[in-house]
Amino acid sequence: MTNIVKGTAFLFLLVFGQAYAQTDPLPSWNDGPAKKAIIEFVKMTTAKGSPKFVPPEARIATFDHDGTTWVEQPLPTQLVYCLERVPAVVEKKPDLKNIEPFKTVLSGNREAMARFTERDIYMILAVTVTGMTVDDFNSDVTGWLATAKHPRFQHLYTDLTYQPMLEVINLFRISGYKNYFVTGGGQDFVRAYSERSYGIPPEQVIATVGGTKYGYDNNGRPILTREPRLLFDNHGAHKPEAIHIAIGRRPYAAFGNSTGDKEMLEYTGAGDGARLAMLVLHDDAKREYAYGPAQGLPDTKVGTFTQTLYDEAKKNGWTVISIKTDWKRVFSFDK
């Protein structure tokens, strides 16, 4: 063995050894079918000579965001951000003060806000996340995330990422997978923290997209201004369509937690060779939340995991991840 070969071999060990040999790549997972399915899938698709080997350029993994990689209760974080921006918007446009749904937002009546229709929410989005440049929006979201805290956990929202899912994302990455978010959330909102919090760069955030307008600032410099115009609504059957537009390849692995992820899992699972499709079930009211009809609990409007989805998962061989049973800890700050 020459020195060069020795050096190269050492480098490979350095990169790949950690995941497979010396240490557990998923230390926050309890042993069980979910952990086993993930580890076996990665081995099967990346080990040289494996009959299910996937070439590096085809290694695509997609992750829903809210409720799959971080907390979405009692409200999705982006909606909290929008609600908290309303007073600043009303200051600039005082006419909104007496118009619904802004009147209710300003009243602080949480019960009334919980009854908001999709149209109400769309109106709030339309005034709170548009009209500024994409750079200014990014700065504002970044600033908000640096101080805003979750009402129950009293931690920054970016601390409420699921530690077990961060380990999965990391295992996929060091195994040559390209990780994508495929989320119904707003693209630029998620991009403001996806690289820092998940190691997922902006070009790998597939999301709901609003229009922007190209123009010039007072100094004649080109700017992109966010407009109240929906270009692509990334939910349900639109997720495989968005995956086709953004990637042009079928994923090998997909993770979700609600009926809005069904088609993405279906599309992923229908590919040939080894495919992994998993659903996070929120069944741990003590450490996180328990919600959704799949466990006989009321539908909470966000992250609906219906009995039909549960049956679909069984039928198609999708693995359901029980937070209660499969996760040793939920957050990095859990002991």
Q: Using CB under 8 A as the criterion, which residues of the chain lie in contact with its own copies when the complex forms? A: 3-8, 10-11, 57, 134, 178, 187-188, 191, 201-203, 205, 209, 211-214, 221-222, 224, 231-232, 237-238, 240-241, 244-249, 263, 266-267, 270
Q: Which residue, among 211, 232, 212, has the nearest Cα to 222 in the 3D structure?
A: 212
Q: What whole-number distance in Å separates Cα of residue 264 and Cα of residue 271?
A: 12
C-beta separation of 53 from 43 below 8 A: no
Residue whose CB is less far from its own copies, 99 or 270:
270
What's the min distance (Å) between Cβ of 241 and its own copies? Answer: 5
Q: What whole-number distance in Å separates Cα of residue 133 and Cα of residue 217?
A: 10
What's the min distance (Å) between Cβ of 237 and its own copies? Answer: 4
What's the min distance (Å) between Cβ of 179 and its own copies? Answer: 12
Q: Which two tokens stand for residue 154?
A: 């009293």
What's the min distance (Å) between Cβ of 306 and its own copies? Answer: 19
Residue whose CB is less far from its own copies, 85 or 178:
178
Residue whose CB is less far from its own copies, 236 or 293:
236
Q: What whole-number distance in Å separates Cα of residue 121 and Cα of residue 15?
A: 46
- Pairing type for strands 253-256 and 205-216 reads unpaired
What's the min distance (Å) between Cβ of 180 and its own copies? Answer: 9
What's the min distance (Å) between Cβ of 64 and its own copies? Answer: 16
Q: What whole-number distance in Å separates Cα of residue 144 and Cα of residue 153?
A: 17
Q: What whole-number distance in Å separates Cα of residue 194 and Cα of residue 180?
A: 10
Residue whose CB is less far from its own copies, 4 or 21:
4
Angle between helices 307-316 and 262-269 (to 10 degrees): 10
Residue whose CB is less far from its own copies, 83 or 243:
243
Residue whose CB is less far from its own copies, 29 or 193:
193
